């Protein structure tokens, strides 16, 4: 068992089992799909990098109400900023593509 930042033991096997069995309309994946659909239908031209930056910054903004997210938020923001300022080269050209052109079919 793993522990979160509040020292609550997390049964990774139980979490994996629940994820596999989750058929609800409110799973994390379904919620993300709903947000992506809203973004795609908005008509606003957004790149993959725009959405990634928003997601990382939004995650970071939630740390005050969900402190257990702090570590992962910092790691995510570090990766986004490193990609943006250091690694943004030919290998990362997909970041500049519109989200509509990289949407999973």
Distance of CA 57 to the CA centre of its chain: 10
Tokens of 10: 């997390």
- Where do the domains of the chain lie? 2-101
Place of tokens 């257990």: 68
Q: What is residue 83's predicted lDDT score, i.e. its pLDDT?
A: 83
Helix, strand, or coil (residue 1)? coil
pLDDT reported for residue 103: 58
Query: Hey, how many other C-beta atoms are within 10 angstroms of the C-beta on 101?
Result: 9
Please choose, from the candidates 29, 96, 73, 94, the residue with its C-alpha nearest in 3D space to the C-alpha of residue 37. Answer: 29
pTM above 0.75, yes or no: no
Query: What was the pLDDT predicted at 17?
Result: 79
Q: What is the pLDDT of residue 11?
A: 73
Query: Diameter of the chain by CA atoms?
Result: 45
10-residue block means of pLDDT along the chain (105 residues)? 54 76 75 90 89 94 92 94 77 76 56
């Amino acid at each position: 068992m793993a522990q979160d930042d509040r020292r609550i033991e997390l049964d990774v096997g139980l979490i994996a089992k629940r994820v596999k069995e989750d058929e609800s309309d409110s799973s994390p994946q379904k919620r993300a799909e709903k947000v992506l659909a809203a973004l795609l239908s908005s008509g606003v031209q957004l790149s993959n990098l725009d959405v990634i930056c928003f997601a990382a910054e939004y995650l970071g903004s939630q740390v005050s109400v969900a402190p257990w997210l702090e570590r992962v938020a910092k790691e995510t923001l570090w990766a986004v900023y490193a990609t943006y300022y250091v690694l943004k080269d030919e290998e990362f050209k997909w970041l500049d593509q519109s989200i509509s052109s990289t949407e999973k079919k």
